[in-house]
Amino acid sequence: MALPPLTLLASHLRRQIRAIMKIQVINPNASASMTAMLAQQCQAIINPGTELQVRCLPDSVASIEGACDGVQAAYHLLDAVRQGEAEGVQGYIIACFDDTGLDAARELASGPVLGIGEAAMHAASMLSVRYSVLTTLPRSIHIIERNMRSYGVDRRCAGVHAADIPVLSLESDPGSYGRLRKLGKQLLEQDRSECLVMGCAGMAQWAKALQNDLGVPVIDGVQVALKWVEGLVQLGLGSSKLISYQAPRLK
């Protein structure tokens, strides 16, 4: 016996409601303008069934440049994840290439949490035999290299390089893109690389233009991480809570 049209419509609406997933992109610094740029980049690629939140942390540091900034930002990041869990967020992207607070966030979150550094370097390993990373300041190089070894993707990386541009200057200095394009071309030739990874969330706006100019895949970890988190949520997958990412013990 066929269902009445109104019943079919109600069933369809219920399926649509169930299909909506809530994903949060967290910029761990306090820059509202950078966060607006990231929101624009992410909105362009999200699935229709994704409710996207892109937020910064106003009480955090202005930008993350080194270990001290990272520790301060991680404190505020974890509060944001706790709040997200209370609001029903199903997956998170940490929009800092240092993957600030990543392991700790995975302990708090019930769903998947991806850092843009880890996501970008894994993607580069899938797309090329050798890839290079272009980040902002020299002080970030050892953090990225340490993370790379931890993730097991260091064998494919031909080099991590710094443009010597402070994070906030990526927005304020009109010459930033030209410098990144010039350096990108030089280091690809120097490293004999086949893929370039943008080593800062603030570079996300230029990935497509650089890819066109350089003729190789140029990876923005924010967009890669967003698409992977959508897929993981759809598959019902999150961080294992068996041992390493158990929720913090009550004390």
| 144-156 per-position pLDDT tens digit | 999 999 999 999 9
Q: What is the pTM of this model?
A: 0.91
- The model's pLDDT over 121-144, given as tens digits with 9 standing for 90+, comes to 999 999 999 999 999 999 999 999
- The model's pLDDT over 206-245, given as tens digits with 9 standing for 90+, comes to 999 999 999 999 999 999 999 999 999 999 999 999 999 9
DSSP designation for 20: -
Q: Measured between alpha carbons, how far is 139 from 211 in angstroms, rounded to an integer?
A: 26
CB of 231 closer than 8 Å to CB of 92:
no
Q: Measured between alpha carbons, how far is 114 from 167 in angstroms, rounded to an integer?
A: 21
DSSP designation for 130: S
Q: Are strands 50-56 and 131-135 parallel, antiparallel or unpaired?
A: unpaired
Mean residue pLDDT across the chain: 94
137-161 in b/e form (b: 16+ CB < 10 A) is beebbebbeebbeebebeebbbbbb
Write out the DSSP string of 49-116.
TEEEEEEE-TTS-SS--SHHHHHHHHHHHHHHHHHHHHTT--EEEE--TT-TTHHHHHHH-SS-EEEH
Write out the DSSP string of 223-243.
HHHHHHHHHHHHTT----TTT
Q: Measured between alpha carbons, how far is 40 from 48 in angstroms, rounded to an integer?
A: 15
Instruction: List Cβ neighbours of 216 (8 Å cut-off, separation of 6 or more).
Output: 128, 188, 193, 194, 195, 196
pLDDT of residue 5: 58
3-state secondary structure at position 142: helix
